[in-house]
Amino acid sequence: MLTSVKDKKIELLPQVPKENQKLCDICEGVGWLQDDRGYIELCRNCSNGMIECCPHCGKPYSKRYYHHCDNEECQRIERFEREKRYQEQEKQRFEKAIKIGYNDADEDKTGMLYIEGYGNDGYIADLDEFFECHYDRNQENLEVYGEPLERPEYVWATSCSKIYLNADSILEQATDDLHEDARDRIVDEDELQRFLDKWCKKQTGTETYYPDYRYAILIPWDRY
């Protein structure tokens, strides 16, 4: 809880730096500076007297609230660690997932498929597109690194959301400024919901897919 400091005499003490932090040189770790008239104001050089530093080279970040080291070597380490974290997370997801053969997967799981690095931001329409994409990526890998691209064992299933309008929330909003019993006087809410459902069904192109990490779809490489 924050309380007023009016008329209080306060001793301004510097912060104690934690790991990858150092005290701000301007305010000496206090976070406050005094102007010519004696008023104090926040130091604009730091956050609360602290400067955040890069965990790899130890140098302060070049800008406040900017957690990115300009040093290329640090950036390389960051990318490597990010990739390692991703791989680890992906491995755990796969271990937990239900594994389904491609031909045994229901249509509602394979409206789109998802695999990082392939297709459009990881989304691919079907197995053919996956194989085409793998073919291209494999060629590229051969040219650049002289070795074939590792064959992924699986892709992720997706779930799909599309436009839905809720009669209840529309009526809540529509009666908000009316007299207090107005909402209760509404009849045939079901009829409105049925109409909204029918109308939404007519809309095409709002389908939005998300990876569904509960299901891993195994790739039938014999069809490649």
Minimum Å gap between C-beta 19 and Zn ion is 14
- The SS3 call for residue 155 is strand
Beta carbon nearer to Zn ion, 56 or 93:
56
Minimum Å gap between C-beta 89 and Zn ion is 24
- The SS3 call for residue 120 is strand
DSSP-derived secondary structure for 65-96: T------HHHHHHHHHHHHHHHHHHHHHHHHH
Where does this chain touch Zn ion (CB under 5 A) — which range of 49-57, 90-98, 124-132, 152-160?
49-57
Minimum Å gap between C-beta 80 and Zn ion is 13
Residue 45 is a binding residue for Zn ion (CB under 5 A)? yes
Minimum Å gap between C-beta 56 and Zn ion is 4
The count of other CB atoms within 10 Å of the CB of residue 130 is 21
What is the rounded CA–CA span in Å between residue 51 and residue 15? 11
The 11-40 site mask, x for binding Zn ion (CB under 5 A), equals -------------x-xx-------------
Minimum Å gap between C-beta 59 and Zn ion is 6
Figure out which of the listed residues 71, 75, 141, 193 binds Zn ion, where binding follows CB under 5 A: 71
Minimum Å gap between C-beta 35 and Zn ion is 14
Residue 46 is a binding residue for Zn ion (CB under 5 A)? yes
What is the rounded CA–CA span in Å between residue 139 and residue 144? 9
Figure out which of the listed residues 21, 52, 54, 124 binds Zn ion, where binding follows CB under 5 A: 54
E-strand stretches of 47-195: 50-52, 98-101, 113-114, 123-124, 154-161
Figure out which of the listed residues 53, 74, 163, 170 binds Zn ion, where binding follows CB under 5 A: 74
Residue 75 is a binding residue for Zn ion (CB under 5 A)? no
How distant, in Å, are the alpha carbons of 9, 33, 34, 41, 55 from that of 37?
A: 17, 12, 8, 11, 39
Residue 53 is a binding residue for Zn ion (CB under 5 A)? no
Residue 219 is a binding residue for Zn ion (CB under 5 A)? no
Q: Which residues pair with 143 in a beta bridge?
A: none
Residue 14 Cα to chain centre, angstroms: 35
Q: Which residues bind Zn ion (CB under 5 A)?
A: 24, 26-27, 43, 45-46, 54, 56-57, 69, 71, 74
